[in-house]
Amino acid sequence: MEDNTASRGTSGPPERAGGLPAVPPSLTADELPDGLVVADDVGRVVVFNRAAGRLTNTAAEEAIGKFVSDVLPFRDDDGRDWWVFVDPYHGLATRTRHPERSLYLTDGTELLVSVGYVRDGRNGPVRRLVISLRGAQQRARLERSRAELVSTVAHELRSPLTSVKGFTATLLAKWHRFTDDQKVVMLETVNADADRVTRLITELLDVSRIESGRMEVHRQLVDIPDRARKLIAGRVAAGEPEDRFRLEAAPDLPDTWLDADKIDQILGNLVENAVRHGAGIVTVVVERARIGGDQAEAVAVAVRDQGEGIPPEVAPRVFRQFWRGKRRGGTGLGLYIVKGLVEALGGDITVGRAPGGGAEFRFTLPAGAPVA
């Protein structure tokens, strides 16, 4: 059996060549947020970190040196002894890992367990069994989040779909009873509600892409002030007062290679948020900036309103899923999606107080040619 002193911890840091203190393995393992258990080539536990002890209610001193199947008596959903079922030390020689799955201790505690194999060469005997443990609470939170997402989207879809169904059914049944002007109004309502459904589905797809890391970016040279100018012009053309918006763009901005559609989506969401939840003039500011530890050239965009602003204690929550301001409505996904889009473009976003009061959402994006 190997020396297990390092796994249990020592009274002081051991020395290594050159007189520099080596980092004890137990210190590194204990800093991990997830449980870590390592078994040697005969199945005896050689590493059992603090998180593993917390999750299994077992002290490291009690686990070190014992067989891993005794320390972690896992059962699967069917009540079978997991160790007998998978036979990690004598099973398939090509096996390299077991993906995360739910397993149960004898007291019924559910853990999310993943296992990796360290072998002597390809298809060789098992040298180490590395086991990662997580509490099932994290999965429960994820499932609750997904359930809330489904419930929120279903609720938001119900209203426009009910309207579309009602107007189309009425027109089909009583077409000749309505004047042309009445038909136009009803069809315009159906069209607007169809656009709303499309936006909701787009939001849902964006959330899925952000969470799975599959957000695609199609880079091209993008003039951010021009995109903001067109956005404002579109809102004015839709009936909003022209003096409600202001655009301030610095001269000689650096070139930015970004995704035009995503820039439109980011600006559109932030301006809509400022109009809906803020007050007074909505100002879009585009200026030079620096980003990262090397202070690389960048462009910063701030969207400001003159409303009450966002309290500092609330600011950390505004980019979470389902966050809504005082005025309810919408899915609460807009700012979450904005943050995901900004990060997909290599930037970051913050929220704070605007110079003249109100809220300021400020995002910074790298400038210059895209990295190949």
> What pLDDT is recorded for position 320?
80
Mean pLDDT check: name the lowest of 39-43, 62-66, 146-150, 354-358: 146-150
> What pLDDT is recorded for position 15?
43
Residue 5 has pLDDT above 50, yes or no: no
Query: Are residues 304 and 285 in contact, defined by beta-carbon separation less than 8 angstroms?
Result: yes
> What pLDDT is recorded for position 330?
58
Bridging pattern class, strands 359-366 and 296-304:
antiparallel
Residue 7 has pLDDT above 70, yes or no: no
What 3-state class would DSSP assign to 304?
Answer: strand
Mean pLDDT across the chain: 84
| Mean pLDDT across 205-211 | 79
Q: Model confidence at 136, in pLDDT bands (50, 70, 90)? A: confident
Domains of the chain: 5-136 (3.30.450.20), 139-212 (1.10.287.130), 220-366 (3.30.565.10)
Q: Model confidence at 359, in pLDDT bands (50, 70, 90)? A: very high
| Mean pLDDT across 249-260 | 92
Residue 246 has pLDDT above 90, yes or no: yes
pLDDT digits (tens, 9 = 90+) for 137-148: 766 666 666 676
Choose between 366 and 160: higher pLDDT: 366
pLDDT digits (tens, 9 = 90+) for 99-129: 888 899 988 888 989 999 999 887 889 999 9
> What pLDDT is recorded for position 82?
92
Q: Please report, rounded to a whole number, the percentage of residues in the chain having pLDDT higher than 70.
A: 85
Choose between 15 and 370: higher pLDDT: 370
Residue 29 has pLDDT above 90, yes or no: no
Tokens, residue 285: 């500011």
- Give the helix/strand (H/E) hosting 309: none
> What pLDDT is recorded for position 225?
96
pLDDT digits (tens, 9 = 90+) for 53-85: 999 999 999 999 999 999 999 998 888 899 998
Residue 101 to residue 109: CA distance in whole angstroms: 14
Residue 355 has pLDDT above 90, yes or no: no
Tokens, residue 328: 């309810």
What is the DSSP secondary-structure string of 145-199? HHHHHHHHHHHHHHHHHHHHHHHHHHHHHHGGGS-HHHHHHHHHHHHHHHHHHHH
Measure the CA dihedral 73/74/77/83, to 10°: -110
| Mean pLDDT across 320-340 | 72
Please say whether the dihedral angle defined by the alpha carbons of residues 270, 272, 277 and 281, taken in this order, is positive or negative: positive
> What pLDDT is recorded for position 311?
83
